[in-house]
Amino acid sequence: MRSAAQLSLALRCALAFPAAVAAQALARPAFPPGIQPLYREIGDWIIVCDNTRQCVAKYLLGDHDGDTNPYDEDAGIVIARGAGPAGDLTVDVTAGSSFDPNTIRIDDAMPRRRPKWERFDENRGASIDDVDALSFVREMRDAKTVSWSGKSRGSRVPLRGLAAVLIAMDEAQGRIGNVSALGRPGPRSATTTPAPILPPTVTQGPKPSPLAKPDALARSVRRLQGPVLAAHDCDREAGVGDSADPLDASSAIVLLGCGRFAYQTSVLAFIVPRADPGKARLLMLPDPLPSAPQDSESRGEYVEGSYDAANRVFGQYAKGRGMADCGSAQEWTYDGANFHLSSYTLQQRCGGGSGDWPTLFRTRMQPSFRNLKSGSTPSAR
């Protein structure tokens, strides 16, 4: 059986994509034209800014001496900031058990401005925003740790790398040198911050007519594609995970169950002429963050691949490990002729909540003219 690292480019990114390579990859125009996303790991933090300049910084414990590590891997601090001069700023502090946010200390001292924390998740989390958040983050910038007392134990979070993360956020949002900056403020007005950017539009293809016999089509493609299944070392039971859905007036998309792994499965995706299943071809969607040239054993294979026929969206969801506290997920929308990237989330370093991965790329869904006539409305992804 293949290792998970051989499974797909997306899973290789989630498991083994080095931070230095990530920064290099995101520096080139790998995503569609426009604002290019930012992903960096610095010290015990990651910074992610999407293609609309929305940014998130997350505490995720980096490499420390395991025998002497005094820090809490279950604790979390998330700093989120919207784009534009009036972009919202929030700070969320979380722990594995209930705690009193009034015990939060910066370098073991009470914050200079007493924040008014709002508790959530049965007292396992606390949040602040606006002026309280701005003062708290700026004080953290120059400190070494944040700590608090919990019902069962205390937590201590290192701030190694946070100052550089905040400067990176300011740079991405165009705040350097103005009064709204977190890492490098200055005298200029907050109004000098660039305005928010609307996500690009992806057109949703027209709704196709249904397939006459989808199950029969999937069985036919499986039978005809035996050599491809063998080349991918597919070991799922025949028929398990197989599906066929209409793609457009002349084609269908067929998914064949392929790999079985410790906590996920994979599918092979094919574009199939409705009238000639023998001419099926693998669906090969570009990964904006390839860690290596795509090899023959991963082309057309997708981790937890699925097709949402109602919205014409193909997606995959690749966990870095079983608890899903790292990984990547992508969606591509079919416009009636081609698939286009419409959503991308990624977290390479493991930690935090299950599936709570920052967004690198987002779009707005625009139904086709035919769909609009039937009453559909645009939506965000």
Tens of pLDDT, residues 298-340: 789 999 999 999 999 999 999 988 888 899 999 999 999 999 9
- From 129-138, 221-230, 235-244, the region with the lowest mean pLDDT: 235-244
Cα–Cα dist 217/181, whole Å: 57
**Distances, alpha carbon 270 to alpha carbons 203, 266, 274, in Å:** 22, 13, 12
Decide: 44 and 159 in contact? Cβ < 8 Å: yes
Name the more confident of 274 and 152.
Answer: 274
What value does the mean pLDDT take over residues 82-104? Answer: 95
Q: Determine the pLDDT at residue 96.
A: 84
In this structure, are residues 132 and 115 in contact, taking their beta carbons and an 8 Å threshold?
yes
Range with lowest mean pLDDT among 11-20, 103-112, 265-274, 347-356 = 11-20
The answer to whether 347 touches 326, Cβ cutoff 8 Å, is yes
Kindly report the average pLDDT of the chain as a whole number.
86
CA distance 380 to 363: 6
The more confident residue out of 59 and 355 is: 59
Q: Please, which pLDDT band fits residue 239 given cuts at 50, 70 and 90? A: confident
Interval 213-241 mean pLDDT: 92
Question: In whole angstroms, what is the distance from residue 203 CA to residue 361 CA?
Answer: 16
Q: Give pLDDT tens digits for 247-264.
A: 999 999 999 999 988 889
In this predicted model, what pLDDT tens digit does every residue of 201-223 receive, in sequence order?
999 999 999 999 999 999 999 99
pLDDT score for 246: 97
**Per-residue pLDDT at 344 exceeds 50:** yes
Residue 269 contacts residue 246 (beta carbons within 8 Å): no
Band of the pLDDT at 23, cuts 50, 70, 90?
A: very low
Q: Is 376's pLDDT higher than 60?
A: no
Give the model's confidence band at 229: pLDDT under 50 very low, under 70 low, under 90 confident, else very high: very high
- Which range, of 28-37, 262-271, 347-356, averages the lowest pLDDT? 28-37
- Taking Cα atoms as reference points, which of 333, 12, 41 lies closest to residue 161? 41
State the pLDDT at residue 295.
Answer: 60
Q: What is the pLDDT of residue 11?
A: 43
Q: What is the pTM of this model?
A: 0.86
Q: Are 59 and 76 in contact (CB under 8 A)?
A: yes
Query: Looking at the predicted structure, is the pLDDT value of residue 1 above 70?
Result: no
